[in-house]
Amino acid sequence: MQKGFVPFAEVKRAVSLEAVLERYELVPSLTRKGMNLAGPCPFCKGSSGRQFQVNLAKNAWYCFGCKAGGNILDFVAKKEEVSIRTAALKLDSWFELGLVAKEKPHAEAPAHPAETPAASPEAPPAAKEVPPTSNPPLAFTLKTLDPHHESLASLGFSSETIERFGAGYCAKGLLKSRFAIPIHNAEGELVAYAGLAVEEDASPRYLFPPKFHAPLEVMNLYRLPEFAEEGGPLYLAPEIEGVLRLAEVGIVAALALFDGSLSPVQEEAVIGALPLFERLVLMGEGFEDRTVARLARHASLTWSPDLSEEFLPSLPAAHEEEFLCTGKPR
Ligand SMILES: [Zn+2]
């Protein structure tokens, strides 16, 4: 690991913008509409009560008054009046992420305790990162996950779906009090458990092991051979939960990204699978615009906003039939 290495991307992935806003006790001043928050700007404190806008799905913020915006690092940097790097260090410490290397206690100990926000040579973030090329298989499995735990009721999954994915309520450890969902690599090896919050307002919504590199995986990819034979549409959800939601209504040919973004590895995996399927259906909101644009270069896309009652009857006839046939497992 490089001297003074700060993994900006991992810090960004580990902490939600909502958690940051909560830490500053700003959430009560904002109005929530779906995945968006709006309210007075914490920086310019302008006259309009809605100029500060937050997109929780993208963990992005923008103020129409002071024209400032960005991600959690930009927010903390502006709020604390520090560099992006110092903002990342603060987040690492506040949220006990343990992502910043601490292996050299003496070396380049902060010779410049007061960092200058203006001339931050580390920006742009992520420029120096050398990402890993694979997630090593886990050496353990969580054996005590409870698929029937009462607090899972709010998630609305049937026991069949939960068991199908080997998921369950986690009572201890890093994912304590969360819904643990196993994640496998393309070969079907277990590489991580994701912890989905069971309460709607909890943040972060997903918790991943700090060393897990989500851009290298596509949820459910290893199961593709199982359902490719059917040849119907391939569904893609922006977050892993989507695969379970789809299974819940009998759609098994489904993959998911992690936060709506699409890495080159993920792009290759999704596009590589496409010839086996009739078409690609993007399911749900929360895809980054870039993700949609990149997929659209390779495939004609269908987009479905959700699995609501209004949507299901509007499925194309061919699919409706398939939907009826596949149904929920007993
Ligand atoms: Zn502002």
> For the packed helices 289-296 and 264-273, what is the interaxial angle rounded to 10 degrees?
40
- Structure confidence at residue 279 (pLDDT): 84
Q: What is the pLDDT of residues 103-129, one digit of tens each?
A: 444 444 444 444 444 444 444 444 455
Measured in Å, residue 271 CA sits from the centre of ligand 1 at 41
Structure tokens at 106: 């003496």
How far is ligand 1, taken at its centre, from the CA of residue 76, in Å? Answer: 14
Quick one: pLDDT at residue 328?
Answer: 30
Distance 151 CA to ligand 1 centre (A): 39
Which residues, 6+ apart, have CB-to-CB distance to 53 below 8 Å?
36, 37, 38, 61, 62, 63, 64
Distance of CA 40 to the CA centre of its chain: 27
* CA 26 / ligand 1 centre spacing (Å): 14
**Taking the model in full, what pTM does it have?**
0.56
- Number of residues assigned to the chain: 330
Ligand 1 centroid from CA 266, angstroms: 36
**Which one of 48-62, 246-260, 289-303 scores highest in mean pLDDT?**
246-260
Query: Strands 280-283 and 301-304, how do they pair?
Result: parallel
Q: Terminus-to-terminus CA distance in the chain, angstroms?
A: 50
Instruction: State in Å: Cα 63 to ligand 1 middle.
Output: 5
Query: pLDDT tens-digit profile of 194-245?
Result: 999 998 888 889 999 888 999 999 999 988 877 776 678 899 999 999 999 9
Residue 276: Cβ within 10 Å count = 15
For residue 222, give the nearest of 190, 179, 196 by alpha carbon: 190
Q: d(Cα 152, Cα 36) in Å, to the nearest integer?
A: 25
Predicted confidence at residue 85, as pLDDT, reads 92
Task: Output the CA 60–ligand 1 centroid distance in Å.
Answer: 14
Contact by Cβ (8 Å): 161, 146 = no
CA of 95 to the centre of ligand 1 (A): 26
Ligand 1 centroid–CA 33 distance in Å is: 20
Please report the pLDDT score of residue 3 as a whole number: 53
